[in-house]
Each structure stands twice: as C-alpha cells, then as structure tokens.
Structure 1
C-alpha cells in the first residue's frame, strides 16, 4: 500500500446499551460501507472512539475489522497514543492483525515540540513494517504538525501520507506544496474539504459522514475521477445540512445518532460523551429524513 486514495470510511465502533463492543453490529457496518462503494476502511480513529477503549479492546476491534473486510478494500487502523512506546506497541499489534497501514495521531495532552513530534513519528515508522499515515487534528491534540515537519517526515520510506483534520485548507495546500505527489498522499480528514483537496492535488478523504451516507461520500471521489466535477461538487455540497448538525454536540455522538436514525445501528458513544438533548436528536432525525428524500445514500 504505497498510496492512500479514494474515500476511506472512518467507521464508528458500535457499542450496545451497556457500552460493550457490539461485534455483530461492527461486522454489519463494515459490510454496509463496502457494499456502498467506499474505497477503504479506517477503523479506531476519532469516529472509532479509540480514546475510550483499552488496548485489548482496540486489538479486538482491529482484528474483527480486518477479518470482516477480508481483503476487499484496504484497511487502515488508528494506532496512536500519548507515549511513543505505547504507540509502537499498538501499531505493531495492528500490523500483526493484518492492517494495510496504520494511522498515528500526534501525541496529545502534553504539548510536544515539532522536534518531538518528528522523532515520535520516525520512531513508530521504524518499528513497523507497514505504511504509516501522520494524523493531524490540532483541535483534539492541541498541537499542529507543521508543514515543514511533514516535509521531512515524507522522506521516511514508510511514512506515505498525512491526514489533515485541522479544517484549515491552507495547511492542506502547504502539505501538498512541500511533498512529492508521486510518493506521498495528502488526505482530507474534514468531510467538507474532500473535493477541494482532490482539486488541489490530494488523493481523497477519510470520512466520518460515511457512517451515515457512504454512497454519497464515495461518489465525490468516483465522480471526480470520472471527470464530472460539477456532479462531484453537488455530492460534496449535499452533506452541508448533516455537517451543520455536528455543532449540536460531540461530533461522534451526532454521527452515531444520525446513523441510528437512518437505521444503521451503531449504538451510543461511551460515557461521558453520549448525551444529546431531545431537541438536538429531533433536529438530527429531521435532517436525515430530508437528506434521504433528497437522494443521499
């Protein structure tokens, strides 16, 4: 897996009402995503709620996802943690489970310098024999992986991509300007910027909204590749109402509530990130109904 391209579904981890992992629902959800046309599965990222799972649970989810995908599309497993040693352990486990690549979020809670970030990613990349994706999400980690840092990391043999969830399109542009597009992929982690990233020279997106509308998200890339940019823009623009719902609460909770409203049961988020007021739930339900009536899929 030398390049990351297309729409990878950032699959949620389904939990039952007791907050236990719902393996049957996870398998069904993975199948639904692939059948809808997504180009890859990204598990145990932000939407996968890696941050509320134990190392043993993360290992179990990774193995279930790889097994269920069964080689139909590439699988990327989120393997980040606060410390480098723990990140290496999780990344090695994901590689042993059969992941095609691992995504490494920048360390969080304690502020890391750019030199510390670079050393962290280099150490992890040197410890695994699968491709590594740098995951930049400063709103959650408190640190931005600078374009100059990504430029240096792109020279590491098995660091093959960066996923940017900063929401700052200029960051994506700088990543593109500083890396070789033939050997390094720049991917949008923000659903609203996928088409614009493709137009700028990026290779795709890792999509949380795919949990709700996988066919629509996959079509952005498919239409773009087919040369129908107008239709790709219509698909991109069509997710604005559900994206607006993300302001109603924890985005992971909103995504699960919307998927549940559509009939793709993902259960609740784990506490304490699982409460939405009744009016928010009604807004989400009404938005999903209107989206389906408009043809989102």
Structure 2
C-alpha cells in the first residue's frame, strides 16, 4: 500500500447527466479540470453529492475511470465504494483498486440497523480484501447507522484504515474521532469534516481537511480555507469558511445534493439535473439561489 496524506479540500464531485439521466462524460471531464484549476486538493467521485447512492455498478466504474484518466495524477482520487452489503462493498472496492483510485471512502451500510460489532466486522473484511488506504464515512442522517468513536478507534488499529470522514454535523463526534485516532500505532489517522461549515474548526482541532459538497459551487473559495489555514492566516480561513453560510441556508429548499447541482447548473455548467425522484427545487428556492449566487459573485467567490 503506497502511503498518502489525506488532507485539504476534497470535492465529492458532481456526476453530470443529460436530461435522460445518462452520464455526461464530456462535462465530467470539464468539471474535473475546473476543480483542479481552482486549487482543490483531491477529488471524490460518487460521494453523496456525486449521487453514488443512485448509480449502477457500471456507471460508477465509468465515472471513476473517467475522473482518474482526466486527473492524470494531478491530485489524488478517492472512490466511494460503500454499499449495503459487505460482499458488494468488497466488489466495488476491488473495482476501484483495479481502476487506479488512491483512496477508498466507505460509507456505513444503510437501511438495516447495524450493531457496532457488525460495523467493525464489515470494515475489517473490506480492509482485508484490498491493499489500499480506507477512510471510514459516517453520515447517520442518511444511512441510519452511526459509527461510534470507540469503533473508529478499534478500526484504526487495522493498518490500511487510515482516517474517517464525519458528516454528522456533531462536532463532539469529530473530537471523539480525533481522540480515538491518536491511539493508532501503525501510522497516522486522518480526520476530515464532511460538514462544510465545520472545516475550519476541524482543522483547528487537529483534523486535516474536509470533503466539501459546496466546493462543486465554490471550488476556489473552499480550497482557500485549507490553504489559508496552512499559511497561518487563521482569521482569513475562518472568514472563507463562513462565506458559504448564505448558500447553505438554501438547503432548506430541497435535498442538499439537488441544491448543489442546481446551483452549479445556474452558474452555467452543463451538469444537468439530479436523477429522479431527487430532482426538484421549488420556484422560491430558485429565486433564493439566484440571489445568493449573485451576491457571492459580487464578493468574488468562485
């Protein structure tokens, strides 16, 4: 397993689609270039904002191989390979390894309730099936299964489980992961914020970055949070992080993934709609988005 630092701002890159919901590969390549040219530090295909939950296995392979080819080694590529079953998660993880991904991001199983022992056994089995760095992914509001910090600490003792992304929105949980990861004896354990508004606070607490959906809309602004922080310009980094609050306030108008993709489309990028049924934003939401996008453009956000 080649060593890699998990750091910086990592967009869960949008999966562009045509109106018939097929994958728009040409636009995906353009979005890869757009993200990298605006300074992001890695890319994460088929995360939540990439609609990984609604893509087929073949579509995921197409997206991943396209992103890896277009990146051409410029930034690391994280592949979201978590599925409900351990068996399919292993299949997807082996596919990602064969495709040349750098890191696996594995969401907890969803729908059926899982005990902490079941989660531990699931991740251990996947880790043993591949020779790649693995990031645990906790988003209980979407999956129904929360990964306890103590369980993350147990998993950290497995050599190729190297970090965790927390999208719970609970900063105490992030602190619990950071504390648990300090006990890893065979390398560093990285902590990434999955909540865009908590990135600066995660960095201040000892984390190393964030997987940030808003970076699909504002890649340069989001990337600057990490860059400014690393330069010691903490107040400017905090201000950059706070600048996305008005956009995130628009999430009340629909599924956040749909809001992000709609906003990206409104900025002139041909990313298409989200896959049905998760593809509607009411007219009041469109008006609110336009107002916020115009205001933020005037501030120089991009």
TM-score normalised per structure 1: 0.98
Shift of 1:128: 0.7
Equivalent pairs, count? 297
Q: Could you tell me which residue of structure 2 aligns to residue 144 of structure 1?
A: 146
**Runs of 4+ off more than 2 Å:** none
Tell me, yes or no, if structure 1 residue 296 matches structure 2 residue 301. yes
1:98 and 2:100 equivalent?
Answer: yes
2:17 maps to: 15
What CA RMSD, in Å, does the superposition of the two structures yield over aligned residues? 0.9
Aligned to 1:108: 110
SS of the equivalent of 2:215 reads helix
Equivalent position to 2:120, from 118, 121, 137: 118
Partner of 1:159: 161
Q: Are 1:263 and 2:265 matched, yes or no?
A: no
Q: Distance in 2 between matches of 1:51 and 1:179?
A: 28
Query: 1:63 pairs with 59, 62, 65, which one?
Result: 65
The question of whether the paired residues in 2 share the 8 Å contact of 1:3 and 1:184 is answered with no
Deviations 1:121-160 (A, max 9, x none): 1111110111111000000000110000000011100001
Moved more, 272-281 or 211-220: 272-281
Work out which of the residue numbers 9, 17, 34 in structure 2 matches 1:32.
34
Q: Which runs of 5+ in 1 are unaligned?
A: none
- Give the stretch that moved more between structures: 282-291 or 115-124: 282-291
Q: Matches of residues 1-297 of structure 1 in structure 2 within 5 Å?
A: 1-180=3-182, 183-297=188-302
Alpha-carbon contact 1:3-1:160 (below 8 Å) kept: no
Separation in structure 1 between the aligned mates of residue 106 and residue 246 of structure 2, nearest angstrom: 30
**1:265 positional shift:** 2.5
Secondary structure of 2:104's match?
Answer: strand
State the 1:264 CA deviation.
2.4
Q: Distance in 2 between matches of 1:232 and 1:276?
A: 31
For structure 2, which runs of at least 5 residues remain unmatched after alignment?
A: none
Distance in 1, matches of 2:163 and 2:178, equals 11
